[in-house]
């Protein structure tokens, strides 16, 4: 084959294969061109190396003669003799007579099918073996060396094309996974934020939930007010998942958490190069909320200079990314929350009155826990059940005196503080009766686990495990039995939390 015709064929192969990402379509096209333009083979295959499993898989089913003994995926590399040789040595192999290689594990089945010669070419990409290409003949062609030389040149191109297909398949798999994961998480969150998850018995909360039930389907702004920890975020999500926009995104913007100099970029997004450190394009939170719900948490903390821009968005339903003149249309429902007195902020010129009237079409004020103490028993029961599942332990049993003491406390942090407190009770008194005495001891901050006040779920689990282990003299089997978990699971958690066992070296 002359150089000009070789180059022409290489170009033809590249043009025919470069746009094909489906392995089957790619392989069919490749096998056809090889057979008609390069060598009239009797069998053709491509194997891909799985380095982690030290095995090979077929890129697609082999073409031509079928050999059931070797036409299998997850074949150990030691059994795939030809593949092993060219992959290990990173050089081609021409076999003029397969009978001379009959001691190689994969060769005898080939001989039984009448195959007499073969060409095996390693596929090398970025100096690492990707797999191998194999062509078999019943009768060795007279130009077998020339065919091999051409395939060696083509193999570099082929390795790159196959690597792109593998990357594309992984990306597509990731996209499919993320799509399924997103649907799963969305459905899970919808179940989490249902009306029946807002635990209450008081008339005040019943009236609020009845009102929410009426306005959820109305596509109008809602302002939720109330002290910190009363459940404003939770209620906002209930409204979203009970609305016509429940299949859209719920995008939360925590106003106090965003530095003032980044606020505009966070809301509207920016183009690459719009300002120093804008190294890539960023989609703003408002744009993300399109066809969904935009939730401004603590909207009273929004910078005054940005309030007019938000007002414009609410009026015009359009935004512009920083550094971009293009208009982006947006359609979202606005829910806002605050623990501030916005009317007082208006009097102090800290909040725009026109924005206030825009966001306050419907107002829901959640009363503090101290004004609805009749909700505390049901809250304690459900918080106890949920955290016991997280800690994989039995919930404690609260006596009437314990509940009464909890109702007498002021709860300045509201439900959030109650939740934190009950989680501490679970850690110390899992499965046991909790009376007013145990509650008093925790209120007095005497417990060694909680001297710091705030504690994370991870720390709570670690402290709970440590408490059980100490009570059982660090015996893992006994502790696992009490925890009602396998010994291996407890050992995993001990390692995860880096818990030191004094009776082990």
Here the CATH number for the domain that contains residue 354 is 3.40.50.300
Domain count, the chain: 3
Q: What is the CATH number of the domain that holds 49?
A: 3.30.450.40
Q: What is the distance, to the nearest Å, from the Cα of residue 24 to the centroid of all Cα atoms in its chain? A: 30
Q: Which residues of 440-474 are buried (b: 16+ CB within 10 A; e: fewer)?
A: eebeeeeeebbeeeebeeeebbbbbbbbbbeebeb
Is 210 found in the same domain as 130?
A: no
pLDDT at 446: 39
In a domain, 183, yes or no: no
Is 390 found in the same domain as 276?
A: no
In a domain, 212, yes or no: yes
Q: Beta partners for 134?
A: 45, 120
d(CA 502, CA 466): 12
Is 458 found in the same domain as 375?
A: yes
Angle CA 74–41–168, to nearest 5: 45
The token pair at 232 is 């404003």
Is 273 found in the same domain as 419?
A: no
Is 376 found in the same domain as 363?
A: no
CB 422 within 8 A of CB 384: yes
Is 151 found in the same domain as 18?
A: yes
In a domain, 175, yes or no: no
Is 94 found in the same domain as 122?
A: yes
- Kindly list the distances between the CA atom of residue 115 and the CA atoms of 43, 57, 84, 109, in Å, as whole numbers in the listed order: 9, 21, 19, 9
In a domain, 275, yes or no: yes
Domain end point (choices 135, 169, 203): 169
In a domain, 177, yes or no: no
CB 436 within 8 A of CB 402: yes
Is 307 found in the same domain as 257?
A: yes
Domain assignment of residue 375, given as a range: 370-496
Backbone phi and psi for residue 184, each to the nearest 5 degrees, phi listed first: -60, -50
Domain end point (choices 351, 367, 383): 367
**3-class DSSP state of 52:** coil
In a domain, 232, yes or no: yes
DSSP classification of residue 276: T
- Kindly list the distances between the CA atom of residue 471 and the CA atoms of 169, 395, 433, 468, in Å, as whole numbers in the listed order: 52, 18, 18, 5
Domain end point (choices 345, 367, 389): 367
In a domain, 503, yes or no: no
d(CA 409, CA 420): 14
In tens digits, what is the pLDDT along the chain, a chain of 505 residues? 555 577 788 888 888 888 787 888 888 999 999 999 999 999 999 999 886 657 888 888 899 999 988 888 877 777 778 998 999 899 999 999 999 999 998 899 999 999 999 999 999 988 888 999 999 999 999 999 999 999 999 999 999 888 888 877 776 666 565 555 555 455 556 555 555 557 888 999 999 999 999 999 999 999 999 999 999 999 999 999 999 999 888 999 999 999 988 899 999 998 888 887 787 888 899 999 999 999 999 999 999 999 999 999 999 999 999 988 889 999 999 999 999 999 999 999 999 999 999 999 999 999 999 999 999 999 999 999 988 988 888 899 999 999 999 998 888 889 999 998 999 899 888 889 999 988 887 776 434 433 444 455 677 678 778 888 888 888 988 888 877 777 888 888 898 888 988 866 4
Q: What is the CATH number of the domain that holds 408?
A: 1.10.8.60
In a domain, 318, yes or no: yes
Q: Which residues of 196-213 are buried (b: 16+ CB within 10 A; e: fewer)?
A: eebbbebeebeebbeebe
pLDDT at 81: 84
Is 397 found in the same domain as 278?
A: no
Is 233 found in the same domain as 218?
A: yes
Is 492 found in the same domain as 379?
A: yes
CB 141 within 8 A of CB 118: no
Is 465 found in the same domain as 383?
A: yes
């Amino acid at each position: 084959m002359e150089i000009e015709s070789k180059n022409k064929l290489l170009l033809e192969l590249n043009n025919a294969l470069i746009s094909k990402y489906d392995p089957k379509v790619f392989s069919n096209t490749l096998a056809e061109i090889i057979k008609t333009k390069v060598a009239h083979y009797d069998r053709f295959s491509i194997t891909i190396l799985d380095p982690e499993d030290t095995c090979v898989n077929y890129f697609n089913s082999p073409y031509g003669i079928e050999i059931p003994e070797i036409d299998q995926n997850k074949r150990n590399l030691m059994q795939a003799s030809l593949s092993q040789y060219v992959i290990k040595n990173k050089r081609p192999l021409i076999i003029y007579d397969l009978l001379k290689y009959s001691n190689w594990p994969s060769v005898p089945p080939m001989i039984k099918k009448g195959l007499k010669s073969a060409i095996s070419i390693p596929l090398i990409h970025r100096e690492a073996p990707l797999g191998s290409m194999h062509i078999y003949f019943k009768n060795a062609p007279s130009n077998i060396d020339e065919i091999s030389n051409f395939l060696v040149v083509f193999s570099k191109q082929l390795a790159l094309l196959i690597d792109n297909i593998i990357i594309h398949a992984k990306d597509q798999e990731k996209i499919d996974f993320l799509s399924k994961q997103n649907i799963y998480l969305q459905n899970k969150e919808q179940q989490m934020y249902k009306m029946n998850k807002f635990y209450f018995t008081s008339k005040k909360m019943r009236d609020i939930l009845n009102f929410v039930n009426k306005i959820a389907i109305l596509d109008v702004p809602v302002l939720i007010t109330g002290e910190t920890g009363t459940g404003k975020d939770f209620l906002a999500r209930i409204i979203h998942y009970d609305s016509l926009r429940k299949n859209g995104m719920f995008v939360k913007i925590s106003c106090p958490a965003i530095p003032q100099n980044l606020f505009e970029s966070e809301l509207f997004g920016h183009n690459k190069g719009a300002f120093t450190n804008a190294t890539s394009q960023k989609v703003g939170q408002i744009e993300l909320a399109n066809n969904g719900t935009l939730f401004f948490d603590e909207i009273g903390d929004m910078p005054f200079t940005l309030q007019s821009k938000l007002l414009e968005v609410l009026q015009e339903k359009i935004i512009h990314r920083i550094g971009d003149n293009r208009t982006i249309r947006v359609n979202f429902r606005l829910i806002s929350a605050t623990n501030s007195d916005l009317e007082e902020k208006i009097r102090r010129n800290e909040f725009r009155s026109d924005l206030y009237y825009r966001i306050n079409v419907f107002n829901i004020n959640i009363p503090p826990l101290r004004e609805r103490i009749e909700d505390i028993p049901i809250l304690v029961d459900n918080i106890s059940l949920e955290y016991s599942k997280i800690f994989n332990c039995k919930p404690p049993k609260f006596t009437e005196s314990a509940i009464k003491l909890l109702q007498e406390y002021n709860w300045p942090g509201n439900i959030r503080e109650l939740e934190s407190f009950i989680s501490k009770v679970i850690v110390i008194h899992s499965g046991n009766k909790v009376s007013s005495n145990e509650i008093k001891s925790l209120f007095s901050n005497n417990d060694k686990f909680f001297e710091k006040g705030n504690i994370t779920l991870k720390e709570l689990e670690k402290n709970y495990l440590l408490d059980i282990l100490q009570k059982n003299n660090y015996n893992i089997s006994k502790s696992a039995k009490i925890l009602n978990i396998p010994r291996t699971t407890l050992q995993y958690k001990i390692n995860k939390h880096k818990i030191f066992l004094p009776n082990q070296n």
